[in-house]
Structures are given as structure tokens and as C-alpha cells.
Structure 1
Amino acid sequence: MIQVEPDPRIRVARSDDGIVGVTIDRADKKNALSLSMWQTLAAVFSREAADPATRVIVLSGAGADFCAGADIGEFGDLRGAAETARAYEAANSAAFRAIREAGVPTIAAIAGICFGGGFGIAAACDLRLATRDARFSVPAARLGLAYPQDAMQDIVRACGAQTAMYLAFTAARLTADEASEGGILLETVADRPALDARVAEIAGAIAANAPLSVRASKASIAAVESRDPADAERARGLGDATFDSGDYAEGRAAFAGRRAPRFRGA
């Protein structure tokens, strides 16, 4: 399946300090993702993460909900048989991978419904914050479907194997408090304005720090989780690059001068 045009329902906004906001803009359908939206989401995260000016990416949904998952209305045509279902699943997997492998920190700002593939893209993010009315579910068993391994990889990483099994086997829903107690969420807040404010605060703190250091730290944490020697080598290279960077010199100078550092990402 080849997408000709980007889907405008995936909106991108960039601030001067390198904070990129990616918004799923289909509120009338609870931000359910069509095939073209899945494809655009993957392309957007790959593109924005590769931009040296990007320091953090925030993923959110327009309106009251984060994301209801894949658009079930498309399933008859696009997931009606094994061959088409596998092709659709490949688009899902590309989006999960683009979010998971983004070299910069990613934050999911979750309000309302966070179901199915919506839970998958949130789980692929590094940090997750939610409003107290947020709800989480993996309803594949009620549709007779199975999630791809890489989507389950992110969910297991986010909530642990036992909770992932409980969600996948029962299709139960978790409240924000239950998700927080299970370690899925970094924080819960009262409502959407509070969520936007807190996410902006965290994103701003990340953006103000040395980009090379943050990227190296993310790579190191990923290497610890994967235990892959190739990931460890990549993390080592990113860490070594900080030693000769102008930002390292700037950090030392700012500390000595008792002033705020001004990092350039080089």
C-alpha cells in the first residue's frame, strides 16, 4: 500500500525551542486512525526525529480523547482477509517503530479514550501523562484479532507482562488511577488544561537541556532494555560525541559563571 498524499488529520506544529507537537485531529471519530493516518504518523515521526532542531515530540489527540485505535470502519475492505490484514498491520508496525525509535524524547499527552492502537502508540512513547478521566484498553480479543509482536512489545514495556496479558486476554479497561498504579503513566492530572500545562512544562525542561546529552541518555536506556550489543555500541558513540561538543564546554562555562546554559545541539 502506497500513500500518495500525507493525511492532514495528522497535524504538526513546531515551536522555536524545538518542541514538536503532533496532533491526531479526528475528534468526531474519537481520533480513530485510518490507514492513511497510520502512514502519515510514521512519516511524521521519522522526519521530525531526524531534524537536528527537534528536541522533544509531544503526541496528543484533538478534543476529548487521545485515540480510539484503528478505524474499524475500514476493516471490511482493508483487513478483510489475511493478505490485506498483514499489509494493514505493516502500516501499524511502521508507526509504532517510528515512535519507538525516535532519537529524541517522546511524550504522550493522554485524555479520555486510549484504546487498541491508540494504547500502542502511547506505549511506544517514552513518557505518558494522562487526565484522570482517561481509560485504557486492548480490545483485540473482542474483535477476533491479534496484535503484532512489536505492538505488544511496547505495551509489555509500558505495563509489564502480567498486566499486558490481563488486558489482552480480558479486553478489560483500566482507569487512569489503575494505569498509574501499574506504572503505565508517569503522572495523572485533573483535566485537559492541567495536562497541557504539565506536558508543556516537562517538554520545556527537556528542550532546555543539552540535546546531544539527552539523545545519548535515551540511547543508553534503550540499550539497557534491549541488551543488544549494537544498541550498546550506538549509545557509546553518542555518549563519546558529547565530550568534544560545544555544548559540553558551554555547560561547564555556565556552571562556572553561575548562569543558565545556552545549548545549541553541537
Structure 2
Amino acid sequence: MWRAIPQALRQLTDKAHAHVIVISGAATTVDFSAGADISEFDEVRKDAETARNYEALNSATFSAVRHCPVPTIAAIRGVCFGAGFGIAAACDMRIADDSARFSVPVARLGLAYPADAVKDIVAVLGPQMAKVALFTGAPMSAAKMAAAGFLLEAVPAEALDGEISALAHAIAANAPLAVYASKTAVRSVMEQDGDLLREAQVLGNITFESADYAEGRAAFLERRKPVFTGK
């Protein structure tokens, strides 16, 4: 599954031309993720070498989500623990229902969380709450995570699908080039990356001469919804 997630994201963006990606549990009525299968660790993380290889798979998945060219939304129900928490943290936005519970229990296993995933957690949870999560491994409620800023919002279970759909459709209705330029600019600020900032500026300049910019202006003047093509 670690190997499959980056492949799935590439398939969705490069071949299916998705405008936004929603990541959820295997079914919309079950847990988001209980994290890695600890029963496998005696085999797949039995020593330093195998542990490093396993962690490299973790990091590749976190990176694929983090650097996905289109916006990503985590739709969270139930348990969101361990590596599942890391995947959610790498997404652009997170919405959960009231049943959601969050935990990073690595300290209880005698392990350290991958440093790149810790960076995501600090960015979206804040340093103090990130320390609480990592140092204690204690489960935290959706309300607490929303108050900390990790979640965009926590909603009743019956409202989650509607909230996710509304957000995804609002994003997908906009010009893909403009959204990509904005996502790159936000990343450049979060990562304090000058090269990424220059890339965002180039992407922003491209929008000035895009067909979508012309369509956006025309639709505004004609008082109709724009039809963007990503060109």
C-alpha cells in the first residue's frame, strides 16, 4: 500500500487529470487509518537496515501527498493514527467528523517518527501541540484538533460527505493553473524555499496569458459560470 499511494496519485493527476483529490478510509463509513500494521514489524522493521527501508517507503508516500500538484483533502472518520495521521498531515486540508480520534503513538513503540512527517505535523498542528502528540501518543478528539488548527472543521457524521463534496467542487470549479500557482506559492512560504517561490512566480506569470484567464474575464462580463480547461 505504501508503494501504491504515490502511483495512485500520479495516475489521478497525470492520466485522469483530477482537479482535486480526496483521501479517505477504504469506505466512507469506516476509519481513516489505524496506521502501519505493527504485527509486520518483526519482519519488515526487524533491524536498522529494514527499518530504514520501511521508513523510506513512508517518506515517499508522505512526499507524494505533500507535493501533489493538485489540492488534496483528507476526509477523516474514526481512527486516524500513526502513519495515517502523517498522510492526513501531508494533505492540504483536513475535515473530520465528530467521531474522529487522532494519535501518533510512536513513542509508545520505542520509535521515532520520520523527520519529514514531523515537519508536516509541526506545520499544521503548531510546535506545542505537535510535541504533545509526539511525546505522549495520547489520543485526541476532533474538537481538540480543530481548535489547534489541524482540522479545517469538525462536523457531525452525517454532514461530513456534504462538507467534503462542497469543498472539492468549489476547488474543482476554478482554473487549474491558478490553483496550482497558488498551491506552489503557499508551499514556498511554508518551506521558506526561494527556488519554490521563483517557481510560483513563473507559474503566476503563465496564468496572465492563459486561455483560462481569458475565459474568466469573459464569464465575469457575461455574468455566467466560467468553463476552465487548464490551458
Using the size of structure 2 for normalisation, the TM-score is: 0.97
User: Which amino acid counterpart does residue 114 of structure 2 have in structure 1?
Assistant: P
Residue of structure 1 in register with 2:203 after alignment: 238
More RCO (CA 8 Å, sep 6+): 2
What RMSD, in angstroms, separates the aligned Cα atoms of the two structures? 1.1
Corresponding position: 1:168 with 2:134: yes
Looking at structure 1, the residues matched to 208 and 18 of structure 2 have their Cα atoms a distance apart, in angstroms, of 21
Deviations 1:22-55 (A, max 9, x none): xxxxxxxxxxxxxxx0110122123323447220
Deviations 1:119-155 (A, max 9, x none): 0000000000000010000100111111111110111
* Higher alpha-carbon deviation: 57-66 or 90-99: 57-66
**Alpha-carbon distance, 1:173 to partner:** 1.2
Looking at structure 1, the residues matched to 13 and 63 of structure 2 have their Cα atoms a distance apart, in angstroms, of 12
User: Which amino acid counterpart does residue 88 of structure 1 have in structure 2?
Assistant: Y
Deviations 1:82-133 (A, max 9, x none): 1000000000000000000011100000000000100000000000000001
Does the 8 Å contact 1:50/1:103 carry over to 2? no
Does the 8 Å contact 1:56/1:203 carry over to 2? yes
**Alpha-carbon distance, 1:73 to partner:** 1.4
Residue of structure 1 in register with 2:18 after alignment: 54
Match for 2:4 among 40, 43, 61?
Answer: 40
SS at match of 2:21: strand
Does the 8 Å contact 1:67/1:114 carry over to 2? yes
Gaps of 5+ in 1: 1-36
Q: Percent identity?
A: 54
Corresponding position: 1:137 with 2:141: no
User: Which amino acid counterpart does residue 137 of structure 1 have in structure 2?
Assistant: S
Looking at structure 2, the residues matched to 52 and 70 of structure 1 have their Cα atoms a distance apart, in angstroms, of 28
* Higher alpha-carbon deviation: 221-230 or 124-133: 221-230
SS at match of 1:109: strand
Looking at structure 2, the residues matched to 154 and 161 of structure 1 have their Cα atoms a distance apart, in angstroms, of 11
Residue of structure 2 in register with 1:12 after alignment: none
User: Which amino acid counterpart does residue 120 of structure 2 have in structure 1?
Assistant: D
Residue of structure 1 in register with 2:69 after alignment: 103
Does the 8 Å contact 1:57/1:104 carry over to 2? yes
Corresponding position: 1:252 with 2:228: no
User: Which amino acid counterpart does residue 60 of structure 1 have in structure 2?
Assistant: S
Greater strand content: 1
Corresponding position: 1:263 with 2:228: yes
Looking at structure 2, the residues matched to 255 and 41 of structure 1 have their Cα atoms a distance apart, in angstroms, of 39
Looking at structure 2, the residues matched to 51 and 187 of structure 1 have their Cα atoms a distance apart, in angstroms, of 31
Looking at structure 2, the residues matched to 251 and 238 of structure 1 have their Cα atoms a distance apart, in angstroms, of 17
Using the size of structure 1 for normalisation, the TM-score is: 0.84
Corresponding position: 1:120 with 2:86: yes
User: Which amino acid counterpart does residue 240 of structure 1 have in structure 2?
Assistant: N
Within 5 Å, which residues of 2 pair with 1:20-35?
A: none
Corresponding position: 1:229 with 2:194: yes
Residue of structure 2 in register with 1:212 after alignment: 177
Corresponding position: 1:152 with 2:128: no
How many residues are aligned here? 229
Looking at structure 2, the residues matched to 43 and 156 of structure 1 have their Cα atoms a distance apart, in angstroms, of 26
Does the 8 Å contact 1:130/1:185 carry over to 2? yes
Looking at structure 1, the residues matched to 15 and 66 of structure 2 have their Cα atoms a distance apart, in angstroms, of 16
Residue of structure 2 in register with 1:78 after alignment: 44
Looking at structure 2, the residues matched to 143 and 155 of structure 1 have their Cα atoms a distance apart, in angstroms, of 19
**Alpha-carbon distance, 1:168 to partner:** 0.7
* Higher alpha-carbon deviation: 89-98 or 193-202: 193-202
Looking at structure 2, the residues matched to 140 and 49 of structure 1 have their Cα atoms a distance apart, in angstroms, of 32
